Chain A
Amino acid sequence: MELLNAIFVKPFADMAAAPDFLLQVLWEGLVGGVLYALIALGFVLIYKSSRIFNFAQGIMVVFAALTLVGLYEMGVPALLALPLTLGVMLLLAISIERVVLRPLVNQPDIILFMATIGITLFLIGLGEIIFGGENKVMITEQLGIPTGSILFEPFGGFVSIEEKDLTAVIGAGILVASLLVFLNKSKIGRAIRALGDDHQAALSVGISLSTIWVIVWFIAGVIALATGIVWGARAGVSFALEVIAYKALPVLMLGGLESVMGAIIGGLAIGILEKLFEIYWGQPLLGGNTEAWFAYVLALMVLLFRPQGLFGERIIERV
């Protein structure tokens, strides 16, 4: 009886008793969710256009953030370091297409996946050599991102919102909206979607595989930079950022690997639900750290009913 009370009554009573705290939990969940969605988007874009599951997305986040901070430490002004970092990510995209992907066209998916593991190892080594392994401070203020906090006092309590988190949510929203417009309204966006639908058909109407791959990897690089700035502002820039990419896996399972909307909704859903579960059920009943597995369980439950994910395309193959 006590257990049933702890599962079905107490969490909701706690929410009602401290609504300001519930709002804080929801806000933190939303911020986490936006960040998960950003990482997942990087995976989705590349998978959508090339059917490659990009294992290197996590290290691209680290590499982009380290490049930005590294350039600043070398004396480059922050606002110049930003476009220069984008330039480095463009060079990286071109190099990956020329050196890794082009020779592997028409190879099985698993070969391309293994190639992205190779890219990961290469970027780890290159990053270590150039930037070292130390934790670096993200140049948040230098980039004009506000670092104060806004305090609200609803229901007699308080909700604290970090301005950099608010900027991250707004910035991510703008980035995602721009991406959606780009993918749906621009010629290149349509080409990316065409490649995702059918490589052969897309090639036959003159869409350049190489160009699209460079563009897609560059966009993934831009997303990686945005993710790196936001996460780096929270706890510094180091190779630890790479593990955050693992948080995108359940988002992809939930939302579907080829759906931009799935990545966004999946990320937000997981971010908010895992926080609510951790605070009201995980910590009191299971000793905490349920965020390590909650998202996977949620994704598995969805897969039981929709194997292609919430927004994934249903693949019907005739025998």
Chain B
Amino acid sequence: MKTWMKAAATASAMAAGVVFAAPALAQDGSIYIPNLSYRTGPFAATGTPLMNGQRDYITLLNERDGGLNGAKLVYDECETGYNTEKGVECYEKTKANAVVTQPWSTGITLQVLPKSNVDEIPILAPGYGFSAMADGKVFQWAYNPPSSYWDGASMILNHISDNDLSSLSGKKIALLHLDHPYGKEPIPLFEKLAGEHGFTFLPIPVGLTEMQNQAAQWLQIRRERPDYVIMWGWGAMNAGALTEAAKTKYPMDQFLGIWWSGHDGDLKLIGDQGKGYRSISWSVPNSESSLMQDIKTHVVDAGKSQINQAEGEFDSVFYQRGIMISVILVEGIRAAQEEFDTQTPNAEQVRWGLENIKLDEARLKELGAEGMLVPFSTSCADHTGHGGGWMLEWDGSKFVKVSDIIQPDRSAIEPLEEEKAKEYAEANAPWPVNEECEM
């Protein structure tokens, strides 16, 4: 009874916490890193391992190294449930002491974007958000390394066409996407490339309430017979699509996804039936790397992690991607510490750090994460880095790397980035633009 009462009390507290959580305050000599996370709601299954990874890398630095160059890192999650309104509330609640904000949803990123210029807090959105944020002259406070959604779309097309997009002429490519800002993000690039290279582009939206019942979408796929289906799914949508694909016997080698549609947990639902499904990814798990072994020793085995070891979360793509995301963030903070000779850089200094990240192969090796993240570097004008990505393939039980690093076709993307960034600045005028790229 006592256990029940305790669970009941904790559950009530947790439920209340979603609404009333107070932000953790930065202490002297510490760096406050809020994360607008989601471990509840329809997207919890994919959000949880990523958040666990982010948390565990920060815990490792605090436990193993005593923080970052002597400064304790205060990692604080604010639960959004992937809900844009709650995300904005979380941003407002955590911004006072934050050196960075991590919105964790393209919808929330788009809402926070105009505020970043006013509040002067950098937005870090690794592998998500508005692709045109790559233009650092227009989006001075927003960063989406190491690859944007438009990069991802281009990489997938390069992969299926063997780097010859003209070979796609006459083919039909369907985009099965969440009907949400995230899912719609690659559409402008697909439309542009379809016009230029003569393939038919067919967007197929999946609504929030239809994520687990995609019969209509897959009936459309059966009728239209696309040569490829590219998935821009998240949360339960991935699992829903994969089970429908298996059910309708759509060839898995013609079914590919963006990096957020490559979650081990989703593929495990269909196991062998998912063999051949591919997902582009800018990170690759490697549990034997020295970084992961350190996390195992100092965090997981020490009982300081929240991962579900029984489900094999430690080895999963998403958990280790969460770790890489914190690696990117910490490298930005470290760069700011060194440049400004301070243990506790402020938000503006961290902004400088984020546009001076140099995560090349040598640095990744030094961190013990060689081959786990595409090498990239950011600059004042380039807030993405465009590091490219590997193609991962599901072998029935896990994802394996099946390609070298694939690069996006930047010549096709850059004009679109410039055009959309300009459109955004004009629509939100007066919007400060840093033409000279001076801080």
A residues within 8 Å of B by Cβ?
18, 21, 24-25, 28, 31-32, 35, 73, 121-126, 128-130, 132-135, 137, 149, 160, 162, 231, 234-236, 238-244, 246-247, 274-275, 278-279, 283, 287-289, 291-292
Contact = CB atoms under 8 A, between A and B. Distances in A.
Contacts of A287: 203, 205
Interface string B279-309: 0000000000000000000000000000010
Given A135-B236, A289-B179, 11 more contacts: A122-B12, A125-B10, A133-B48, A134-B308, A135-B265, A234-B213, A236-B266, A238-B45, A242-B41, A247-B209, A292-B207
A134 B311 contact: yes
Interface in B11-31: 11-16, 18
A133 B45 contact: yes
B39 interface: yes
B215 A275 contact: yes
Interface string B40-80: 11111101110000000000000000000000000000000
Contact of A126 (B8, B48, B215, B235): B8
B209 A238 contact: no
A243 B205 contact: no
B266 A135 contact: yes
A162 to B, nearest CB: 6
B279 to A, nearest CB: 16
B369 interface: no
B116 interface: no
A275 to B, nearest CB: 6
26 contacts: A21-B219, A25-B219, A121-B16, A126-B11, A128-B11, A128-B14, A128-B44, A130-B7, A132-B308, A133-B39, A133-B45, A135-B266, A137-B268, A231-B213, A236-B243, A239-B44, A240-B41, A240-B236, A243-B208, A243-B209, A275-B215, A279-B219, A288-B204, A288-B205, A289-B179, A291-B209
Contacts of A231: 212-213
Interface string B211-244: 1110111011011000000000001100110010
A287 B184 CA distance: 13
Contact of B212 (A25, A28, A241, A279): A241
A246 B42 CA distance: 13
A66 to B, nearest CB: 12
A129 B41 CA distance: 13
Contacts of B269: 135, 137, 235-236
B248 to A, nearest CB: 7
B219 A129 contact: no
A236 B267 CA distance: 11
A240 B216 contact: no
Contact of B219 (A24, A35, A126, A162): A24
A123 B40 CA distance: 12
Nearest to B208: A243
Contacts of A134: 44-45, 48-49, 265, 308, 311, 313
Contacts of B268: 137
Given A130-B7, A275-B215, A125 B12 contact: yes
Given A234-B243, A278-B216, A243 B42 contact: yes
A3 to B, nearest CB: 21
A22 B183 CA distance: 29
B206 interface: yes
B39 A128 contact: yes
A76 B393 CA distance: 34
A125 B268 CA distance: 25
Nearest to A288: B205
Q: For the side of the interface on B, what is the size category?
A: 35 or more
Given A134-B265, A240-B42, A125 B14 contact: yes
Nearest to A295: B209
B248 A160 contact: yes
A288 B220 contact: yes
A291 B216 contact: yes
A234 B266 contact: no
A274 B215 CA distance: 11
Contact of A288 (B41, B44, B45, B217): B217
B7 A283 contact: no
A96 to B, nearest CB: 12
B210 interface: yes
Interface string B243-266: 100011000000000000000011
A98 to B, nearest CB: 13
Contacts of B265: 134-135
B219 A132 contact: no
Nearest to A36: B213
B7 to A, nearest CB: 6
Interface string B139-178: 0000000000000000000000000000000000000000
Contacts of B207: 289, 291-292
B14 A244 contact: no
Contacts of A125: 10-15
Contacts of A130: 7
B2 to A, nearest CB: 15
B215 A129 contact: no
Contacts of A241: 212, 236
A247 to B, nearest CB: 6
Contacts of A243: 42, 208-209, 211
Contacts of B223: 18, 21, 279
A130 B235 CA distance: 20
A242 B42 contact: yes
B186 to A, nearest CB: 16
B45 A135 contact: yes
A123 B206 CA distance: 27
Between B205, B206, B212, B313, the greatest number of chain A beta carbons within 10 A of the residue's beta carbon is seen for: B212
Q: For the complex of A and B, list the 10 residue pairs with the smallest distance between their C-beta atoms, beginning with the closest.
A: A133-B44, A240-B236, A125-B11, A240-B42, A126-B11, A135-B45, A125-B15, A121-B15, A125-B14, A292-B207
B235 A240 contact: yes
A236 to B, nearest CB: 5
Contact of B215 (A32, A122, A239, A246): A32
A126 B7 contact: yes
Nearest to B51: A133
Contacts of A24: 219, 222
Contact of A28 (B8, B179, B205, B215): B215
Contacts of A160: 247-248
A290 B11 CA distance: 37
